[in-house]
Amino acid sequence: MNRKRWIALVIAIVLFIFSIGFQAITTVLATDFEELFNLNASEFEQDILEEGSALNKIAVIRLDGIIQDTSTNAWNTSLYNHDRFLNMIEDAGEDSTVDGIILRVNTPGGGVVESAEIHDKVEEVQEEYNKPVYVSMGNTAASGGYYIAAPADKIIAHPATLTGSIGVIMESINFAELADQLGVDFNTIKSGEFKDIMSASREMTEEERTILQTMIDDLYGDFVQVIVDGREMTEERVRELGDGRVYTGSQAHELGLVDELGTLDDTIAMMKEDYDLNDAQVVEYKSGLGFEQFLGMTLSSNFGSQSELDGIVHLLRQSNAPRAMYLYSE
């Protein structure tokens, strides 16, 4: 075999090995790690908050942070995880040893769809498993936080809780005038008149504003109906209270938006008394340290503090497209 053939053979072997390696890497990247490592297991760790009968439990499930779907973010070790939270509610509903569920809500709200999914899951647990769901409000339970609380059998807020903020918001930034001063031009090629609606590079037209306002009004109507059904209030009264303002827990109690004032401990005591669960064990659902959380902690240790990492991730996840939110922002 001459020298050229040897060279050709070596090149072929190298390409073959490279091909195998590339396929292996592709397979790894395409692997469903959530299924492989069982990240959404149906059972969660349970920390005992109060001793009692393990056959009659009260499950406490915490919602902290903005309600948005960050479930696929491997760096997310402490922020709200939407899929995990829904699975916790479902797990508590299916668990025959759990007689009642308390959602500890501390959120300014968030996505319209995510809030609706939690609301529907609460109603599902109440109807399918016939279990009471109480909401204990923390520092803030506003907008989407109140949306998910509306169907609860009882809502308890601290006197200083910020709640309410009933409404929908959609925002964008317009820098057309600044761009004009800087001599920046934008070239937009679009398939339809409204394809670049809420564009940051030009003024909004009245027709576009009407379209978006109609969308917001429809979503607001859904919000109002959730409260009408959950709190048994008239639509007129809900719309009167739902002008977007926030209320303290004490004000919300006077207005009928919450049932009682108290802490999480008070909420636990109320559920025990209301449903004769004085001997119940009180547990708090924890997600445990799965592969996803382990990876996130590893990345955090290599790339800085969690707060810095969360900020980076938040910026990376932001979309240029505005979205309707059930969100209270100061």
- Contacts for 191 with CB less than 8 Å, ≥ 6 apart: none
Most confident of 4-18, 135-149, 286-300: 135-149
Q: What is the pLDDT of residues 157-197, one digit of tens each?
A: 999 999 999 999 998 888 888 888 888 888 899 999 999 99
Nearest-CA neighbor of 165 among 220, 213, 212? 220
> Pairing between strand 260-261 and 53-64?
unpaired
131: annotated active-site residue: no
* Average pLDDT of the residues of the chain: 83
Helix axes 306-317 and 291-303, enclosed angle (nearest 10): 100
C-alpha 266/C-alpha 104 separation (Å) is 12
Strands of 127-182, DSSP E? 133-142, 154-157, 162-164
Phi, psi of 126 (to 5 degrees): -65, -45
Cα torsion 183, 184, 190, 193 to 10°: value is -50
CATH number at 34-166+232-327: 3.90.226.10
Q: Answer for the pair 89, 81: CB distance below 8 angstroms, yes or no.
A: no
Q: What is the pLDDT of residues 89-102, one digit of tens each?
A: 999 999 999 999 99
Q: Answer for the pair 140, 217: CB distance below 8 angstroms, yes or no.
A: no
What is residue 179's predicted lDDT score, i.e. its pLDDT?
Answer: 82
Nearest-CA neighbor of 134 among 168, 97, 176, 92? 92
What is residue 154's predicted lDDT score, i.e. its pLDDT?
Answer: 98
Token pair belonging to 55:
């056959």
C-alpha 79/C-alpha 64 separation (Å) is 7
The confidence band for 42, taking pLDDT boundaries of 50, 70 and 90, is: very low
Catalytic residue (choose from 42, 195, 286, 301): 195
User: What totals of helices (H) and strands (E) does the chain contain, helices first?
Assistant: 12, 11
C-alpha 4/C-alpha 9 separation (Å) is 9
**Does 44 have pLDDT greater than 70?**
yes
Q: What is the pLDDT of residues 65-90, one digit of tens each?
A: 999 986 544 444 447 899 999 999 99
The confidence band for 34, taking pLDDT boundaries of 50, 70 and 90, is: very low
What is the three-class DSSP state of 107? Answer: strand
Q: Answer for the pair 198, 204: CB distance below 8 angstroms, yes or no.
A: yes
57: annotated active-site residue: no
Q: What is the pLDDT of residues 112-165, one digit of tens each?
A: 999 999 999 999 999 999 999 999 999 999 999 999 999 999 999 999 999 999
Q: What is the pLDDT of residues 100-111, one digit of tens each?
A: 999 999 999 999
What is the percent of the chain where pLDDT is above 90? 64
> Pairing between strand 162-164 and 133-142?
parallel
Catalytic residue (choose from 115, 143, 165, 300): 143
Helices (H), 31-55: 33-36
- Contacts for 18 with CB less than 8 Å, ≥ 6 apart: none
**Does 11 have pLDDT greater than 80?**
no
